Amino acid sequence: MTGMIRNLVPTFTAAAILAAGSLIHPFGNIDSRAVKGPILRGAGIDAETLGLFQRACQNCHSFNTELPLYGRIAPMSWLIARDVRQARLHMNLSLWQENLAEDRIMLLSEIGSAVKNGDMPVQRYLLLHPEARLSDQEREQIYQWTRAERKRLKSAPSHSGAERRQDRPLRPRGSVTSPSFLSIHFK
């Protein structure tokens, strides 16, 4: 009996260290301000293509992050928090409508090439999330959608082709929930 307890001590110690580490959030707690809701609001997108974004992108690029159990345990929780934070800084699909039309047009071409080149979703993510894998046909579908949506935005009456207002940032940085030192790289 005592032998068994002695054997369990290292296990408990390791578990205690992991649990304590999980309470530490060097990159902030990604769940704290997340409000789940629709993504790509205001975009002209069909349900099927939207479904691809929900399946393959929204976990990192929106407030709809679903953390798996291992994602709550350090050090995985730190790595995931960093990925999600950087992904949202680049592009947050929950705040799509908040982007100026010209920024949406720019993001659309980034999405198009990231998906066509196989850069997104990131490889290391696919190991644990096989459901996020995209077939060639699905990649083509997203790419074609980005082209159609860019065309639609460019011809929309609200997009007059006027100069960017100087008082507006490139993208709505204020909505990002990261400490300012992390956003320095993206300004």
Residues forming contacts to ligand HEC in the complex (CB under 6 A) are 56-57, 59-61, 83, 86-87, 90-91, 110-111, 114-115, 119-122, 125, 132
Q: Which is nearer to ligand HEC, 42 or 68 (CB)?
A: 68
Q: Which is nearer to ligand HEC, 78 or 125 (CB)?
A: 125
Q: Which is nearer to ligand HEC, 12 or 68 (CB)?
A: 68
Q: Which is nearer to ligand HEC, 55 or 152 (CB)?
A: 55
How many Å apart are CA 22 and CA 19, to the nearest integer?
A: 5
Task: Output the smallest distance, CB 16 to ligand HEC, in A.
Answer: 29
Q: Which is nearer to ligand HEC, 31 or 110 (CB)?
A: 110
Task: Output the smallest distance, CB 54 to ligand HEC, in A.
Answer: 10
Rounded to the nearest 10°, the torsion over CA 29, 30, 36, 38 is: 160
The residue among 84, 83, 143 whose CA lies nearest residue 117 is 143
Return the DSSP state at 183: H
At residue 87's C-alpha, the angle toward residues 154 and 71, to 5°, is 145
Return the DSSP state at 129: -
Give the DSSP H or E segment for 84: helix 76-90
Task: Output the smallest distance, CB 78 to ligand HEC, in A.
Answer: 14
Task: Output the smallest distance, CB 57 to ligand HEC, in A.
Answer: 3
Q: Please list the helix, strand and coil fractions of the chain in percent, rounded to the nearest 5, in that order.
A: 60, 0, 40
Task: Output the smallest distance, CB 116 to ligand HEC, in A.
Answer: 10
The residue among 46, 147, 165 whose CA lies nearest residue 105 is 147
